[in-house]
Amino acid sequence: MIGCSIAYQLAKRSKKVLLVEKNRIGNKASSAAAGMLGVHTELENGGLLQAAMKSRDMFPSLSEELKEISGIDFEFSQNGMIKLAASESDVNNLQHVLSLSNDVEWLTDKEVTMLEPGLSERNLGGLYAYKDGNVCAGKLTLALAKSAVRLGSDLKEFTPLLSFILEGGRCKGIRTHNETYYANEVIIAGGAWSSQILNYAGVELPDYPVKGECFSVMLERQIINRTIFTDGCYLVPKRGDRILVGATEHPHTFDESNSVAGINLLMNKAIEILPDLANGRWEKAWAGVRPKTAGGHPHIGRVRGYRGLSIASGHYRNGILLAPITGVLMADVLEGKEIDPMFEPGDMEERMMNGEGKG
Ligand X SMILES: Cc1cc2nc3c(=O)[nH]c(=O)nc-3n(C[C@H](O)[C@H](O)[C@H](O)COP(=O)(O)OP(=O)(O)OC[C@H]3O[C@@H](n4cnc5c(N)ncnc54)[C@H](O)[C@@H]3O)c2cc1C
Q: Which residues lie near ligand X (CB under 6 A)?
A: 1-3, 20-23, 27-30, 32-36, 160-161, 189-193, 197, 212, 214, 246-247, 288, 290-291, 313, 315-321
Residues 6 or more apart whose Cβ sits within 8 Å of residue 40: 49, 81, 83, 97, 101, 103, 104, 127, 129, 132
Closer Cβ to ligand X, 136 or 151, answer by number: 136
Q: Does 11 sit behind a cis peptide bond, omega within 30 degrees of 0 on the bond before it?
A: no
Residue 92 CB, nearest distance to ligand X (Å)?
A: 25
Closer Cβ to ligand X, 125 or 200, answer by number: 200
Determine the Cα–Cα distance for residues 43 and 295; give it in Å rounded to an integer. Answer: 14
Give the β-pairing of 299-302 and 233-238.
unpaired
Residue 250 CB, nearest distance to ligand X (Å)?
A: 10
Residue 174 CB, nearest distance to ligand X (Å)?
A: 9
Closer Cβ to ligand X, 69 or 244, answer by number: 244
| Strand order from edge to edge, sheet including 163-167 | 163-167, 170-175, 180-182
Determine the Cα–Cα distance for residues 251 and 24; give it in Å rounded to an integer. Answer: 24
Closer Cβ to ligand X, 30 or 70, answer by number: 30
Residue 75 CB, nearest distance to ligand X (Å)?
A: 13
Using an 8 Å Cβ cutoff, are 35 and 135 in contact? yes
Residue 314 CB, nearest distance to ligand X (Å)?
A: 8
Closer Cβ to ligand X, 172 or 211, answer by number: 211
Residue 145 CB, nearest distance to ligand X (Å)?
A: 10
Q: What is the DSSP letter of 238?
A: E
Closer Cβ to ligand X, 25 or 151, answer by number: 25
Closer Cβ to ligand X, 125 or 297, answer by number: 297
Give the β-pairing of 36-37 and 18-20.
unpaired
Determine the Cα–Cα distance for residues 347 and 49; give it in Å rounded to an integer. Answer: 21
325: phi then psi, degrees, rounded to nearest 5: -70, -35
Using an 8 Å Cβ cutoff, are 169 and 302 in contact? no
3-state helix, strand, coil in the chain (%, to 5): 35, 25, 40
Determine the Cα–Cα distance for residues 53 and 193; give it in Å rounded to an integer. Answer: 27
Using an 8 Å Cβ cutoff, are 29 and 313 in contact? no
Residue 119 CB, nearest distance to ligand X (Å)?
A: 20
Closer Cβ to ligand X, 110 or 282, answer by number: 282
Residue 133 CB, nearest distance to ligand X (Å)?
A: 11
Nearest to 132 by CA among 235, 234, 38, 52: 38
Residue 29 CB, nearest distance to ligand X (Å)?
A: 4
Closer Cβ to ligand X, 260 or 336, answer by number: 260
Using an 8 Å Cβ cutoff, are 87 and 231 in contact? no
